[in-house]
Structure 1
Amino acid sequence: MTEHTPEPEATQRADDENPFENLAKFIEIPRVSGLALAPDGNRLVVGVQNLSPDGKKYVSSIWDVDRDGGAPFRLTRSAAGESSPAFLPDGSLLFAAKRADPDAKDGDDSGDGQGLWLLPARGGEARLLAAPPAGIGGVAVARETGRIVLTARVMPEAKDLADDAARRKARKDANVTAILHTAARIREWDSQLGPDGTRFFVADAPGPDGRVELRAVTGDLGPVVDSFAVTADGSKIVYGILATLPAGEHVAELRLLDVATSTTTVFAGDAGHEHSNPAISPDGATVAYLRAPADTFDATGKPTIYLKPLVGGAEGIVEGTGVAGIAGIAGVSGTADAGKPLTEDLDLWPQGLLWAPDSSALYFTADQLGRSPVFKVDVATGEVTRLTGDRAAYGSLRVTPDGRTLFAIRSATDATPRPVRLDTSAVDQQPFPLSAPGDTVQVPGRVEEVTATAEDGTVIHSRLVLPDHADGPSPLIVWIHGGPLMSSNSWSWRANPWVMVQRGYAVLLPDYSLSTGYGQAFINRGKGEGSGNPFHDIMAATDAVLERPDIDGTRTAAMGASFGGYLTNWIATQTDRFKALISHAGVWNAQLRTVSDVPWFFRQAYGDVMLRPEHSLRWSPHLYADNVSSPILITHGNNDYRVPVANALWQWQDLQRRGKEAKLLYFPDENHWIMRPQESKLWYETVRAFLAEHVLGEAWEQPELL
């Protein structure tokens, strides 16, 4: 039998449809995130992002998912998109959207943000429930009463939402954007904080006329509310906030808001610990949350699930009332009893807490040895059971009212996110896949779990992504994850190895010390005086893979973003073994951490550059710029406040002055991530061209739009 060789035109057509070759197809793949389950457990919806018709942005919509695996169908559609689905007790669906109100009178202005919309359980047209001028933030629904709780940003001194709208209009008409800050925190990621602050609003479930009236129940809470939980009757809210401490330090604490009296008390908080992610038990008796020691120079605090009674559990000072004025409850921190640990002996990092319907157990996820399974912990005994055994990462957990079924979003290095169904009583089970847009993407290769041994005997775990039908040994890209407190165990749209594997590269995804899922000692091994261990771990993982006959050790590159970008910059100054390096949003000069949006975090985690420069500067790549010999591509967004763009500019000047071979890909309108579809496509194109030039020895081919 003679093997058929496709004609060149046929091969080209196949490549045109391959999303990992044709990046225009890659950015068209639907992106699934977030689940919402109806109170009766019979309806499941998911958020889906699709490329807009003009290809310039992603537009989100809400889809109904069949619990038994049937085809999904789209529920919402608009040019601006819909997000944040939540159900009322009668099955009606709430969502956030920036739409024109069909019932608005001439001249009415719904503001600049998203409004809260309701799609009736029986179907029909969605209607606008509420439209604060700056839009809505988080939304939650009281399970029994249907009371709606939401956050919205409101201008200081505004008496109500109408007054807020007038004050915003006055600033806009005067062309004023100035902000007067009185506390250390002024920016977050890519957003300017202020002059408005966050407040809680409540509204009773819509009546027969479908209308609701928002009522403010707090004054200004400060710039950002981390997360919040609502009791089944809607009478109390537990929320997380970053409280200001003396000398510009901050700590995450939990506060309890009584809706009837509009009073706020510290629920769980102290200066030495971080408290976050509250979840209120269905019986209303207990709050579960995460408590972790604050980071220090030598150790990263391990989060533990804590339990504390809701009634009588709040202590500390009364911090504010629900008057509409900007009563100063932001920046006031108290101390409250921490409650009792539930998972003190669990050497994992729990997240995504979800109560069982009978309040007897909690479900959560946690990174573990290159996966992120679903776990169940018994509240009475503290016994932990792992429910999923596959090599995948889970999130967005939802449980049915009878407590027998869990729904989740599952993804893996080789699988796009999709909803799945799980049995709450099964151990190490395989999930039942449900259908959603984008769930049929075929990857052009395979993933192998590989290990290496560091000099001190520590085992380093990695994933090696290999191409199908490689023609001889494959060139290697070492792709370093950011965080750094994470694991490369799930699908990534922004750092997708398959885009490179399609071109014949093998991609190594190392989980170096500081990565989660391998125990607290493994994380702390990369702290303090051991801060050089991540670099050595990556080198050990690389050395082990280069011993394989299917890897070409003469053609290698390394790349990473955020903390991975920092490690790439450090690699650039410590070794010449790589043919090319690509650093996105990486720290170059450790001194610039002081102008990050979270300088207190960097002070805690890496040492104060002013008070402890011997450490901060010891690991600062800029001091070793003379050592750089590998060609390097620097990429950075101008609106990145976490790793300010000054890092890239300083690095660029350092390399230019020394005559080093480098390119700078600068995005004036992007932030810590390259988010817009065409900009993301361009980033991948530039990275592939740079690697082809320096690793494969091909001529530089400049992307068409540059």
Structure 2
Amino acid sequence: MGKIVHLLMSAAMVAGLGAAPALAQSKQVLTHETLWMMKRVGAPLTSPDGKWVVYALSEPSYAKDETVSDLWIVPADGSAAPRRLTSTKAGESDPAWAPDSRRIAFSAKREGDDVAQIYILDLAGGEARRATDVPTGAARPQWRPDGQAILFETLVYPGAMDSATNKKAADERKARKFSMRVYEHFPIRYWNDWLDDRRPSFWVQPLTEGAMARDLMSATKLAQTEGFGGSPQNDGGMTLSPLWSPDGKEILFIATTQRWDAAHARVNYGLYRMPADGGEPTLATPVQGEYGDPKFTPDGKSLIVKFNSQGEDVYDLARLHRIAWPAGGAATLLTGAFDREVDGFAVTPDSRTLYLTVPDAGMENLYRLPVAGGKPALVVAPKFGGYSAIDIPSDAKSTELIASYGSAVNPAEIVRIDPKTGRHTNLTNVNTALAATIDWSSPQHFWFTSDKGRRIHNMIVTPPAFDPAKSYPLMVLMHGGPASSNADQIGLRWNYHLLASAGYVVLMTDYTGSTGYGEAFSRAIKLDPLRGPAEEINRAVDEAGKRYSFIDTANACIGGASYGGHLANWMEATTSRYKCIVSHAGEVDLLTQWGTSDFNYGREVASGGPPWGDSKVWRDQSPITYAKDWKTPMLLTAGERDYRVPMSNTLETWSTLQRMQVPSRLLIFPDAWHWITKPEDSRQFYREVQAWLAHYLKGAPAVKGGPIATPAKAAPGAE
């Protein structure tokens, strides 16, 4: 009861920022403050015995360094309310249960730490104790099956084999009197960060008193091979995804020796195994490609892993495979006839069944599949939203399905699923009461068949105080990727309801190239990177106008980010049907994007060869080719630290707009990456977008000059 009261008070305070009426009077229009300040519930992690569920809970703030993130725990049977496990200024990441279900390891940078270290918290009570002391930091802990040691990852310096040599290398670099980056290979950047010469490694920390952590990887011939690396992470690091074998005698991991081939070929990875006390790694299965999410069945007889071979196509569906253990060898395909990509999976305690979360047309459904193989069977298809994470305790007496459930109007919560009834029960209700006070509704879905015979899925979101008898302006939102989709989930970067809050209907289309519709649908974008998807989006606008009388398609704006920004620029070049356009992180010239982005070979595959070849795609589907036709007013935004779609693309678009004397406004966020994620930057971004839409769709005064000031007393929905 206290938690619900607290949430209602929080909602009232948030509403008070916009001088909104009392909660009891009416539902509230969604504002940036309401959205941003919602607490964020992380994925569930269930104890092996099935009694407890741990999750991270983030409590956001607009103030710098005041966001709080702690670990919470709740009984898996829902018999008691959640309680906080940690309460420190620094957040915890990568929690991992000990085999005894009594201890939790996690990574954190606490007071006195120069870098993150591994900490262990005993549920019996007391403060978490630090388990590691390594100068390069420690992340992603994994308990040895006997609970007496922890495997963790770190990035090490060239030639360094232990803590002392790594510390010496770090100190030497810190003492340099110059600042310079040096490269001899591609890539040099990834998403939002410059890469350096550190390499991934995994160490083992025994939990006996006074024991030192040991680097198992760096001394191997494999790790010293040119081009050795792990899977890149969005923070500029890499992971080898290591895990213990069931008997604790081996370590498995995913690595490549082709890292420096990225400029001219696909980078393939191998699944390796090595003795846990050191030695040279060998391949656990012979085929190389892309591996992910390896998990052992509780009986230790099978290793389940995602895998896709990397051919010369723009998209390869990752499918589940099973590898016999400890024999290893060729993998058995489990989901070969299943034309959907498995997002997540978990294994039942009897090692006989897999439960899968699968994106499908905006939803995320739950399927069941025998470990021995067969056809996945649909277990739950939620009416709205879906399951974004799933976990099953390995040692429970019966199968317990713990998951994250959310939708576009239901912030993610931890739930327990009953596969027999197809229903779930909430274990947390962090944002349930607050969500109930907001005037928002679930997306409406419709399909049409394109001129090329493809079924195209679409969603619309209606504004608050919606009246189907009225007519509403239209905001067309194009998703990034292109290998992604519009999901019935809450997002921060382009929130459907926040865009709709000022009185617009929002339309979203999963054009050709989107995921969740089968491998062929995703691959069909090859050699047609912009024109085909744009034609489908324009057709979707026509179809929405026919189906929904409340949509005024003649009074519409369009926008998107990343690949959605590429499409926005293409719309500028090829149609005048929209009154305005918003483009964030969009390319204007395929050649510019090829030469400046953090990867290029995949772009060659999509466009039919290198820029100097005979493919016409490079010029025919570059928006700048048609600059003489540009005339639609355009709002451009970019993060100065974006290396996936570098700011040069936006500056080229800006120069072209100015050259053609098209009404335009340019917003550069110096501290932003590919995404605008800092709270005040995000709030300002939405202010600017809403003001741009209001001018062209509602006749509001145009914004001139510097940034839009914070209104002293904003009306509900003004954000």
Structure 1 residues 226-235 or 346-355, which shifts more? 226-235
Counterparts of residues 534-553 of structure 1 (less than 5 Å): 534-547=533-546, 548-553=548-553
CA contact (8 A) 2:485 2:514 kept: yes
Alignment of 1:518-557 (within 5 A): 518-529=517-528, 532-547=531-546, 548-557=548-557
CA distance in structure 2 between the aligned counterparts of 1:569 and 1:372, rounded to whole angstroms: 31
Instruction: Provide the rounded CA distance (Å) in 2 between the counterparts of 1:92 and 1:218.
Output: 27
Distance in 1, Cα, partners of 2:527 & 2:536: 16
Identity across aligned pairs (percent)? Answer: 27
- Where does the alignment leave 5 or more consecutive residues of structure 2 unmatched? 1-14, 231-237, 712-719
Q: How does 1:493-572 map to 2 (within 5 A)?
A: 493-529=492-528, 532-547=531-546, 548-572=548-572
In structure 1, what is the equivalent of residue 8 of structure 2? none
Q: 1:285 aligns with which of 296, 301, 322?
A: 301
Aligned length: 659
Residue 38, structure 1, aligned to residue 47, structure 2: yes
Cα offset for 1:41?
1.4
- Separation in structure 2 between the aligned mates of residue 47 and residue 114 of structure 1, nearest angstrom: 17
Give the corresponding residue for 1:601. 602
Q: Deviations over 1:566-625 (max 9, x none)?
A: 111111111111111111112222112233222233233344323354223322212122
**Matched residues in 1 for 2:661 and 2:458: separation?**
35
Q: Is the 8 A contact 1:71 1:436 kept in 2?
A: no
Distance 1:150 1:19 in 2: 46
Q: Distance in 1 between matches of 2:131 and 2:517?
A: 47
Change (3 A) 1:203 1:232: farther
Deviation at 1:378, TM superposition (A): 0.3
Greater RCO structure (CA 8 Å; 6+ sep): 2
Please give the alpha-carbon distance, in whole angstroms, between the structure 1 residues aligned to 2:55 and 2:28: 23
Where 2:43 maps in the other structure, the secondary structure is: strand
1:554 to partner: Cα distance: 2.5
- Residue 238 in structure 1 maps to residue 249 in structure 2: no
Q: What does residue range 45-444 of structure 1 map to in structure 2 within 5 Å?
A: 45-52=54-61, 54-55=63-64, 58-69=67-78, 70-90=80-100, 91-101=102-112, 110-111=113-114, 113-204=115-206, 206-207=207-208, 213-219=212-218, 220=223, 222=229, 224-225=238-239, 227-244=241-258, 246=261, 248-249=264-265, 250-268=267-285, 270=287, 273-297=289-313, 300-313=315-328, 337=330, 339-390=331-382, 391-400=384-393, 401-402=395-396, 403-423=398-418, 425-426=419-420, 429-440=422-433, 441-442=435-436, 443-444=438-439
Kept in 2: contact 1:114–1:131 (CA 8 A): no
Alignment correspondent of 2:576:
576
Structure 2 Cα separation of the partners of residues 596 and 295 of structure 1:
22
Match of 1:616 in 2: 618
Structure 1 pair 698/170, CA: closer, same or farther in 2 (3 Å)?
Answer: same
* Alignment partner of 2:708 out of 696, 703, 706: 703
Determine the structure 2 residue equivalent to 1:485: 483
> Does the 8 Å CA contact 2:644/2:674 hold for their aligned counterparts?
yes
Between the aligned partners of 1:200 and 1:287, the Cα distance in structure 2 is 20
Distance in 1 between the 2:596 and 2:283 partners?
A: 30
Residue matched to 1:107: none
Asked if 2 retains the 8 angstrom alpha-carbon contact of 1:445 and 1:501, the reply is no
User: Does the CA contact (< 8 Å) of 1:48 and 1:63 recur in 2?
Assistant: yes
Q: Is the 8 A contact 1:48 1:437 kept in 2?
A: no
Note the alpha carbon deviations across 1:506-559, whole angstroms, 9 max, x for none: 111211111122222322232235763211221121111122211122321111
Q: TM-score, normalised by structure 1?
A: 0.87
Q: Would you say the 8 A contact 2:140–2:153 is kept in 1?
A: yes
- Pick the aligned partner of 1:457 from 441, 444, 453: 453
Give me the whole-angstrom Cα distance separating, in 2, the residues matched to 1:160 and 1:88.
26
Give the conservation status (yes or no) of the 8 Å contact 1:187–1:193. yes
Query: Whole-Å Cα distance in 2 between the matches of residues 179 and 313 of structure 1?
Result: 42
Given residue 601 of structure 2, which amino acid in structure 1 is its aligned partner?
W
- Alpha-carbon distance in structure 2 between the residues aligned to 1:284 and 1:68: 27
- Give the Cα–Cα distance (whole angstroms) in 1 for the partners of residues 420 and 449 of structure 2: 34
Task: Look up the SS of the partner of 1:648 in the other structure.
Answer: helix
Question: Would you say the 8 A contact 1:444–1:501 is kept in 2?
Answer: no
Deviation at 1:177, TM superposition (A): 4.5
Residue of structure 2 in register with 1:23 after alignment: 32
| Contact persistence 1:72–1:435 (CA under 8 A) | yes
Residues 651, 267 of structure 1: alpha-carbon distance in 2 compared, 3 angstrom cutoff:
farther
CA-CA distance at 1:377 after TM superposition: 1.1
Whole-Å separation in 2 of the counterparts to 1:26 and 1:263: 50
Query: For residues 292 and 605 of structure 1, do their structure 2 counterparts lie closer, same or farther at Cα, with a shift above 3 Å needed?
Result: farther
Q: Write the letter of the residue equivalent to 1:81.
A: G
The 1:80–1:19 alpha-carbon spacing in structure 2 relative to 1, beyond 3 Å, is: farther
Q: 2:651: which partner in 1?
A: 649
Q: Supply the AA of the counterpart residue of 1:704.
A: A
* Cα distance in structure 2, aligned partners of 1:536 and 1:254: 41
What is the deviation of 1:21?
A: 4.4
Q: Structure 1 177/118 Cα, relative in aligned 2: closer, same or farther at 3 Å?
A: farther
| Cα distance change on mapping 1:617 and 1:259 into 2, 3 Å | farther
Unmatched segments (≥5 aa) in structure 1: 1-8, 102-109, 315-336
The answer (yes or no) to whether the contact 2:51–2:77 under 8 Å persists in 1 is no
1:470 aligns with 2:437: no
Amino acid in the other structure paired with 2:576: D
The Cα offsets for residues 206-260 of structure 1, whole Å up to 9 and x where unpaired, read as: 34x5x65311110145362253433233332322234417564322332223322
Q: Distance in 1 between matches of 2:200 and 2:86?
A: 28
AA partner of residue 569 (structure 2): N
- Counterpart contact for 1:56–1:678, Cα < 8 Å: no
**Which residue identity is paired with 1:347?**
D
Task: For 1:563, give the aligned amino acid.
Answer: Y
Distance 1:47 1:537, change over 3 A: same
CA distance in 2, matches of 1:29, 1:680: 15
Tell me if the contact between 2:530 and 2:567 (Cα under 8 Å) persists in the aligned partners. no
Q: Distance in 2 between matches of 1:12 and 1:495?
A: 21
Kept in 2, the 8 Å contact 1:355–1:362? The answer is: yes
